[in-house]
A and B are shown apart, each in its own frame.
Chain A
């Protein structure tokens, strides 16, 4: 391990010491992989356009394949022809890619910029550095939104996670993601399990059954989604009363489209999204990828991204610099999942747990769903 990191570090030093490497040593074309839509747009505006201004000869190609990045990278690797240079994935996928040896290990000290006040990148990102290959970019959360016009008369609007399981007070359909992650945690939480014991309980057969039994109480009223755009659509059509999705999607439904929908931040689950660099890139493309990463994950750039989308920057030093939405002109800070008002009760996606239990619990969950 020692030996490979030396190798990586030496490449990184060569790149990160600005000016030591001339532009000729770097590839002048770069393929970035992202999610498409508003999110990719925020990256184009905040990272790619300023970077392109600094490197006018560079050609940036976008590929909207993050959804299948893990499978595609594996196929590319087996074919011996990896065409991607920097890939945007969620942290859980980054961990998988790292385990499969498909992503390059990174050294934050060497490869990422310091904060303006001199704090090292490692401290600035802190706990966000999940696994050995992941370069964090944003914090997003999976949380609930509900139709304000479907709240029964004389009842307080839903404000707690357990209101999702309360069909008597809040009758109507719910939209939940068609996978066990998050749903199992919420179910246990509302079945009387203490927050810090959730994963201990979920590691047992009985705990898994307990979570499924709790979900069974609302199963008939759930529409299961598999695409992040489903819940916003279902809410906008009035198909569901409340539904879980990514907070940025709800922001767009509420603020950009003006639908009668409100956020319910309780028990939101934080997750991370960021970059990985595929393993074994040729030298010139690696130099370009590292150069871009160094630029695109510095404090200012991460803060800039929040102008275009309501996801929190992964660096601590970026938080105070978050300003207003570029088009709507509203303050973005209160819409960030990390805002103190929103994050009174939160969960952090447990990467280690789900890396182990994902296949097992998913088999049970899908069997339960189909039954």
Chain B
């Protein structure tokens, strides 16, 4: 303001074609003919600056609301919708397995080879320690029945793998059960050059696995000499060290390493790790162990897992893990339209599991019916309201609004009392003799019940916009039509009705969009034939915990509404909608 640019006198530049201002304007023009403001800057620029300041101020004023809506409404919705494709859990929990499964040919019979099982052992071991394996089991159980208990059970017995060889190792020398010996072996003693690489690798994997923070002082740095000789063992020990320090809050040097470290050591020694150059701490024990292990059988991971549970030998289980290993999946969306991922891409689900397409159709159809019955019932009421004297109209308005102020559950339950077979309506019909006592009408727990209850509940949303539009239609138009000879019907149909259409449009959009997402009323009075897609969404959110599928169903529903809105705009025109 201080620079005077927003001063209305300077902003409202004199118009050149106005003869009265022409003389004045001549003083404010530079040599190129551009108009200047009072302080000598070109008028165009100072005008733009003034507008920008105004825009900024307007933005600042709505900023609190904008930020509020973004943070509390848009962001959670986007986050929820993103779950419909998100699938990081498989590759985060089983990173090594997923990598080695990528070149397994699933069309072959049986389970993958030893290498996959070996990687799977190390993945499952750390996942079971972090208790993440059961989460993965629940996730994969949505796709392949039985994987939930397979993972749960295997997590319990995964530390038995290689038991025989570990016992032999510990029988050979008690040092292999001694935490201090292990710590010295892995750090490489006092004079060794440390390397941080194994720690960094394992830290990344653990953070992806658990979602927790593993950075900070571990109190352990692997020796580079031992890392060169026994890389896998050192890596496993590093994972153990990180987990001990950050998850269990213990000291590494005081804990005996877990089985996976020993299994890695046995594997590497049996595979012929070259110890000839190694002279760090524990060199002798390592050589003795290697010699002894030469006579021991190799650890057979595949056999061990199949012995744990024969389902690990099933092709279908491994195929599921492979199919769902990418970080993004279209599986939830396929499921939401009654399809599934098969060997050669998408295929329809078995017929006895198909339900969602039918529910989408039913939801759209019933919402349309409800919307239509709201129009039929609401139009006369709104017409009456807008044509009665003010005092009576207000009284009637309260009657329209009264149910609006009653709890949704109360209204729905009231319909139950009215419509059920021993209910008020049936009782009256039997009393009147219109219906036999054994032939009482079934009016609830089906589509009819849902339509009746929802029409009643949504009726005010139709009446109110209609009323506000109708009350602005001047009565003189109809009178004029009548005086020009139109019949009552023609005057209504040709003059009044077209003017009330924007109210119908607004009410229809409100009712239809509310109906499409309705959940409580269909749940209570819908039975089996009157439930909506939202009831399945609620089931997957709160009961089956399959949030990915719920998100996919929700996304499709949202897209359907947006498409219908677009179509409505093209056909009727959104400018024709008036809320008042």
Residues of A within 8 A of B (CB): 1-4, 6-7, 67-68, 70-71, 74, 96, 98-101, 173, 178, 209, 223-224, 226, 237-239, 352, 355-360, 362-364, 366-371
Asked, given contacts A239-B420, A364-B353, whether A100 binds B531 with beta carbons under 8 Å apart, the answer is no
- When the two chains form the complex, which single residue of A68, A71, A100, A368 contacts B138, counting CB atoms closer than 8 Å? A100
Give the residue name and chain of the A residue nearest to B130 (CB): A101
0/1 interface trace, chain B 226-251, chain A, CB 8 Å (1 if under): 00000000000000000110011110
| Interface contact B359-A71, CB-CB below 8 Å | no
| Interface contact A356-B149, CB-CB below 8 Å | yes
Say whether B255 faces chain A, with CB atoms less than 8 Å apart: yes
Chain A residue contacts of B359, Cβ below 8 A: 370
Asked, given contacts A3-B248, A367-B353, A370-B359, whether A100 binds B149 with beta carbons under 8 Å apart, the answer is no
Say whether B129 faces chain A, with CB atoms less than 8 Å apart: yes
| Interface contact B542-A370, CB-CB below 8 Å | no
How far is it, in angstroms, between the C-alpha of A371 and the C-alpha of B544 when the chains are bound? Answer: 21
Given contacts A70-B542, A101-B134, A357-B145, 4 further A-B contacts (CB under 8 A): A3-B250, A99-B137, A100-B138, A224-B445
Chain B residue contacts of A100, Cβ below 8 A: 134-135, 138, 545
Asked, given contacts A223-B527, A239-B422, A367-B353, whether A362 binds B544 with beta carbons under 8 Å apart, the answer is yes
| Interface contact A68-B134, CB-CB below 8 Å | no
**4 A-B pairs with the lowest CB-CB distances in the bound complex, closest first:** A99-B134, A71-B542, A360-B145, A3-B248
Give the residue name and chain of the A residue nearest to B132 (CB): A101
Shortest Cβ gap from A112 to chain B (Å): 21
Say whether B541 faces chain A, with CB atoms less than 8 Å apart: yes
Residues from 253 to 308 in B contacting A, C-beta threshold 8 Å: 255, 258
How far is it, in angstroms, between the C-alpha of A160 and the C-alpha of B218 when the chains are bound? Answer: 65
How far is it, in angstroms, between the C-alpha of A2 and the C-alpha of B358 when the chains are bound? Answer: 50
If over half of A's interface residues share one DSSP class (helix, strand or loop), that class is named, otherwise mixed; here it is helix
- When the two chains form the complex, which single residue of B354, B422, B527, B545 contacts A238, counting CB atoms closer than 8 Å? B422
0/1 interface trace, chain B 539-558, chain A, CB 8 Å (1 if under): 00111111000000000000
Residues of B within 8 A of A (CB): 128-129, 131-132, 134-135, 137-138, 141-142, 145-149, 152, 159, 243-244, 247-250, 255, 258, 352-355, 358-359, 420-423, 445, 523, 527-529, 531, 536, 541-546
- When the two chains form the complex, which single residue of A7, A99, A173 contacts B148, counting CB atoms closer than 8 Å? A99
Asked, given contacts A99-B148, A101-B135, whether A4 binds B248 with beta carbons under 8 Å apart, the answer is yes
Give the residue name and chain of the A residue nearest to B153 (CB): A352
Give the residue name and chain of the A residue nearest to B137 (CB): A99
How far is it, in angstroms, between the C-alpha of A67 and the C-alpha of B542 when the chains are bound? Answer: 9
| Interface contact A1-B128, CB-CB below 8 Å | yes
Shortest Cβ gap from A205 to chain B (Å): 9
How far is it, in angstroms, between the C-alpha of A225 and the C-alpha of B353 when the chains are bound? Answer: 21
How far is it, in angstroms, between the C-alpha of A99 and the C-alpha of B139 when the chains are bound? Answer: 10
Asked, given contacts A1-B128, A68-B542, A71-B545, whether A99 binds B142 with beta carbons under 8 Å apart, the answer is no
- When the two chains form the complex, which single residue of A67, A68, A355, A360 contacts B149, counting CB atoms closer than 8 Å? A355
- When the two chains form the complex, which single residue of A3, A101, A369 contacts B244, counting CB atoms closer than 8 Å? A3
| Interface contact B352-A359, CB-CB below 8 Å | no
- When the two chains form the complex, which single residue of B137, B148, B352, B358 contacts A368, counting CB atoms closer than 8 Å? B352
Chain A residue contacts of B132, Cβ below 8 A: 101
| Interface contact A367-B149, CB-CB below 8 Å | no
**Interchain residue pairs with CB less than 8 A apart (20):** A1-B128, A1-B159, A2-B258, A3-B243, A3-B255, A4-B131, A70-B545, A71-B545, A99-B148, A101-B135, A173-B421, A223-B445, A237-B423, A239-B421, A352-B149, A355-B141, A355-B149, A357-B146, A367-B352, A370-B359
| Interface contact B131-A363, CB-CB below 8 Å | no
How far is it, in angstroms, between the C-alpha of A1 and the C-alpha of B531 when the chains are bound? Answer: 45
Chain B residue contacts of A357, Cβ below 8 A: 145-146
Chain A residue contacts of B422, Cβ below 8 A: 237-239
| Interface contact A364-B352, CB-CB below 8 Å | yes
How far is it, in angstroms, between the C-alpha of A360 and the C-alpha of B523 when the chains are bound? Answer: 22
| Interface contact B134-A359, CB-CB below 8 Å | no
Give the residue name and chain of the B residue nearest to A208 (CB): B352
Chain A residue contacts of B131, Cβ below 8 A: 4, 101
Shortest Cβ gap from A282 to chain B (Å): 14
How far is it, in angstroms, between the C-alpha of A129 and the C-alpha of B244 when the chains are bound? Answer: 29
Shortest Cβ gap from A215 to chain B (Å): 12
How far is it, in angstroms, between the C-alpha of A81 and the C-alpha of B142 when the chains are bound? Answer: 27
Give the residue name and chain of the B residue nearest to A3 (CB): B248
Asked, given contacts A223-B445, A369-B528, whether A71 binds B135 with beta carbons under 8 Å apart, the answer is no
Give the residue name and chain of the A residue nearest to B338 (CB): A367
How far is it, in angstroms, between the C-alpha of A223 and the C-alpha of B524 when the chains are bound? Answer: 11
Shortest Cβ gap from A261 to chain B (Å): 15
| Interface contact A359-B142, CB-CB below 8 Å | yes
Chain B residue contacts of A360, Cβ below 8 A: 145
Chain B residue contacts of A2, Cβ below 8 A: 258
Chain A residue contacts of B248, Cβ below 8 A: 3-4, 6-7
How far is it, in angstroms, between the C-alpha of A70 and the C-alpha of B131 when the chains are bound? Answer: 18
Chain A residue contacts of B129, Cβ below 8 A: 1, 3-4
Chain A residue contacts of B149, Cβ below 8 A: 352, 355-356
Which of the listed residues B142, B243, B352 has the most CB atoms from chain A within 10 Å of its own CB? B352
| Interface contact A370-B527, CB-CB below 8 Å | no
How far is it, in angstroms, between the C-alpha of A290 and the C-alpha of B142 when the chains are bound? Answer: 34
Asked, given contacts A3-B244, A99-B137, A356-B148, whether A237 binds B420 with beta carbons under 8 Å apart, the answer is yes
Shortest Cβ gap from B544 to chain A (Å): 6
How far is it, in angstroms, between the C-alpha of A96 and the C-alpha of B422 when the chains are bound? Answer: 40
| Interface contact B135-A99, CB-CB below 8 Å | yes
Give the residue name and chain of the A residue nearest to B255 (CB): A3
How far is it, in angstroms, between the C-alpha of A80 and the C-alpha of B41 when the chains are bound? Answer: 55
